[in-house]
């Protein structure tokens, strides 16, 4: 495998990803990692990523120089190249101006990393500083008009640097360059597949856990479901997945999750804690208070249930790479990096040793693993659902009655959108129950009932979103069905706000 050392570039994930696409496993490590703790028997080469810092900044992240002493190939990209220069005795020129965008690369040496490529091709640059003097024993192997040392290599050691980004699609032959490094220079075989990831994880989990037990919190979302299946594959019923019904789940959700896992042979420890959650939420209208109460109560319930199984050392969590990177990518002025420990998870006092088999993967890779492990599409391809569940979709005070109304209305929205073949085109589609009543007329009777808002958005990552231009016929059908079938609702409105300035959820 290849170890990618992350200096905070927005492209680091992409480097690891591209290498995996070549059929070679790769993992991302912090520059502060202790080299002796790395799996050196498996690592055949290192890539030092780019990063936003200048190597002369006070807080500039530096890796251990031991990496250059291992005799394993090293490829520095952008900041990584400048760091190699600085650490091995060359000089980097500070510049306040960034060179950004396309440049024409002229290749000077096609013997290894540029093997089989044309003499000239386009590359993508994004750097401020540049190399003024190369370290002893290095020479330029490519140039651009503005950058005389656009790529270099050491004549004695297998150390390479690229001033441009081979991992982005704007660089022609980027894939070939990475392939030359990973396969020819590092000698990796192209034999890694998601199946190998599963096998390797299973082996590692078995080794680590021995004959002990592991807890995990199953939410029914993709990540926790895949972790559950993976750890279960490794240690069987010594995995104790705890599924908490907080009373804020969608229609039939708990039942479906339990049935799915039962059919996959996984025993779930189910806890119906809806009473507790709803009692604590009584009278609460502030959205952030709702979130806090739900978070706290979840931890209490989990703790109580876990204690029934005695002292358990391990906790499996579905932390993904983007969660990890959010917690470490803060190259703040103090340069203190939050540890990966407990990313978005349970509190420190739990004192579990974490098992996070998905921590180097992206969402689509996790889905692929889920698919290989037999997870059905209804879980794999489900829209995101917030942790606080329907609590933040009942605007204002939550009652059982309102939750029941919302569940019915929501099920109709999702069903109709699925029937129209639009479910997978949308990021999310759901119903919201407003705590407002309005007047209507049904038959000869005046009604005074709740309003349901339908929300359907398109988005790439949930950070920004646009309301979906659903066909009028579909909206009409949804509205009709909700008003006719859901007692307590006499009006349906469609939310036509984008994010920003609105958010996807109403609370």
The catalytic residue positions are 78, 165, 167
Smallest separation (angstroms) from ligand XMP to the CB of 221: 9
Question: CA–CA separation, 241 vs 341, rounded Å?
Answer: 20
Q: What are phi and psi of 101, to 5 degrees?
A: 120, -160
Bond into 202 cis (ω within 30): no
Q: What is the DSSP string of 313-368?
A: -EEE----HHHHHHHH----TT-----STTTTSS-GGG-PEEE-TTTT--HHHHHH
Q: CB of residue 307 vs ligand XMP: minimum separation in angstroms? A: 25
User: CB of 504: closest distance to ligand XMP in angstroms?
Assistant: 3
**Least distance in Å: CB of 483 to ligand XMP?**
25
Q: Which two tokens stand for residue 335?
A: 């340069």
Judge whether 485 and 461 are in contact, CB under 8 Å.
no
45-48 vs 239-245, strand pairing mode? unpaired
Instruction: Name the minimum Å distance from CB 322 to ligand XMP.
Output: 13
Residue number, 347 or 476, with CB nearest to ligand XMP = 347
Torsion sign across C-alpha atoms 163, 168, 171, 173: positive
Q: Which is nearer to ligand XMP, 335 or 459 (CB)?
A: 459
Please identify, using beta-carbon distances, which residue of 314 and 430 lies nearer to ligand XMP. Answer: 430
Nearer of residues 171 and 342 to ligand XMP, judged by Cβ: 342
Site for ligand XMP, rule CB under 6 A: 291, 384, 386-388, 428, 462, 499, 503-505
Sheet holding 138-143, edge to edge: 26-29, 2-5, 45-48, 74-77, 159-162, 151-154, 138-143, 99-107, 120-127
Q: Name the token pair of 452.
A: 């349901």
- CA 79: distance to chain centroid? 24
- CB nearer ligand XMP, residue 269 or residue 499: 499
Among 28, 86, 19, 32, residue whose Cα is nearest residue 54: 86
Whose Cβ is closer to ligand XMP: residue 376's or residue 387's?
A: 387
Q: CB 389 → ligand XMP: shortest distance, Å?
A: 9
Residue 92 in tokens: 């980097």
Q: How far is the CB of 428 from ligand XMP (least distance, A)?
A: 6
Pull the structure tokens for residue 287.
């959205």
Instruction: Between 383 and 437, name the residue whose CB sits nearer to ligand XMP.
Output: 383
Q: Are strands 214-217 and 2-5 parallel, antiparallel or unpaired?
A: unpaired
d(CA 507, CA 48): 42
Q: What's the sign of the alpha-carbon dihedral 173, 179, 180, 181? A: positive
In this structure, what token pair is assigned to residue 400? 């059982």
């Amino acid at each position: 495998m290849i170890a990618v050392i992350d200096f905070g570039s927005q492209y680091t994930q992409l480097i690891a990803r591209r290498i995996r696409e070549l059929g070679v496993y790769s993992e991302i490590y912090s520059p502060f990692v202790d080299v002796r703790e790395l799996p050196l028997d498996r690592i055949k080469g290192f890539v030092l990523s780019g990063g936003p810092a200048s190597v002369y900044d006070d807080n500039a992240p530096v890796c251990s120089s031991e990496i250059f002493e291992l005799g394993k190939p090293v490829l520095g990209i952008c900041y990584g190249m400048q760091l190699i220069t600085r650490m091995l005795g060359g000089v980097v020129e500070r510049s306040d101006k960034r060179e950004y965008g396309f440049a024409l690369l002229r290749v000077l040496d096609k013997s290894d990393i540029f093997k089989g490529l044309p003499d000239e091709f386009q590359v993508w640059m994004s750097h401020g500083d540049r190399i003024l003097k190369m370290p002893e024993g290095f020479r330029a192997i490519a140039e651009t008009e503005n950058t005389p040392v656009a790529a270099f290599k050491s004549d004695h050691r297998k150390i390479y640097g690229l001033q441009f980004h081979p991992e982005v699609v704007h660089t022609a032959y980027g894939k070939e360059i990475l392939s030359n490094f990973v396969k020819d220079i590092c000698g990796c075989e192209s034999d890694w597949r998601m199946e190998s990831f599963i096998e390797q994880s299973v082996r590692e989990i078995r080794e680590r856990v021995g004959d002990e037990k592991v807890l995990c919190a199953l939410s029914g979302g993709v990540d926790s479901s895949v972790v559950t299946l993976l750890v279960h594959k490794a240690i069987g019923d010594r995995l104790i997945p705890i599924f908490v019904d907080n009373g804020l789940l969608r229609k039939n959700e708990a039942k479906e999750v339990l049935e799915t896992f039962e059919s996959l042979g996984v025993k779930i420890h189910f806890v119906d804690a809806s009473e507790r959650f709803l009692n604590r939420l009584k009278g609460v209208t502030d959205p952030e208070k709702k979130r806090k109460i739900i978070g706290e109560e979840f931890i209490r319930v989990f703790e109580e249930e876990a204690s029934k199984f005695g002292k358990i050392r391990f906790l499996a969590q579905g932390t993904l790479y983007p969660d990890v990177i959010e917690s470490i990518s803060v190259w703040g002025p103090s340069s203190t990096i939050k540890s990966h420990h407990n990313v978005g998870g349970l509190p420190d006092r739990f004192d579990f040793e974490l098992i996070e088999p998905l921590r180097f993967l992206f969402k689509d890779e996790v889905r692929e693993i889920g698919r290989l492990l037999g997870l059905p599409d209804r879980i794999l391809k489900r829209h995101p659902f917030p942790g606080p569940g329907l609590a933040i979709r009942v605007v204002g005070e939550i009652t059982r009655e309102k939750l029941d109304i919302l569940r019915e209305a929501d099920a109709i929205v999702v069903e109709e959108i699925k029937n129209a073949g639009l479910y997978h085109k949308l990021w999310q589609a759901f119903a919201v129950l407003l705590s407002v009543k309005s007047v209507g007329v049904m038959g000869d009777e005046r009604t005074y009932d709740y309003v349901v808002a339908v929300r359907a958005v398109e988005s790439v990552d949930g950070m920004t979103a646009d309301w979906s231009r659903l066909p009028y016929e579909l909206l009409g059908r949804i509205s009709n069905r909700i008003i006719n079938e859901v007692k307590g609702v006499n009006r349906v409105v469609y939310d036509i706000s984008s994010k920003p300035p609105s958010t996807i959820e109403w609370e």
